[in-house]
Amino acid sequence: MGLEERFKKYGMEYGKFNLVKNKLSTRRDLTVFLILDKLLIEERNIICIAECDFIFFDIDDADAELIAEDDIIDLCRCGVFYDTCECSLAMPVKFM
């Protein structure tokens, strides 16, 4: 199952930050960065694209295979989703 399908599977968890099991911060965006930091294989920037309303994360296929289901659920709960236009994980810069 690809990254897009894995994130769609947990779409109903989107934005439910209060349910994140392993909060690494009281801030949802910082929690996302800390989760991704522990998952990335190579030392490189986490953000690959920044637009006015969204940031996109540099997650390649090798990284994607290492993301556990629990991490996907927590990322969804923090506001991360799979953007089909950029074929990348993304997050709004301001979550409402």
39 vs 1, higher pLDDT: 39
| Whether the Cβ atoms of residue 17 and residue 80 lie closer than 8 Å to each other | no
pLDDT in the model for residue 89: 94
Q: Where are the domains of the chain?
A: 3-18+25-92
Rounded CA separation 90/80 (Å): 6
Residues contacting 42, CB < 8 A, separation 6+: none
Q: Tens of pLDDT along 3-43?
A: 899 999 999 999 999 999 889 999 999 999 999 998 887 78
Specify the pTM.
0.91
* Banded pLDDT at 96 (limits 50, 70, 90): low
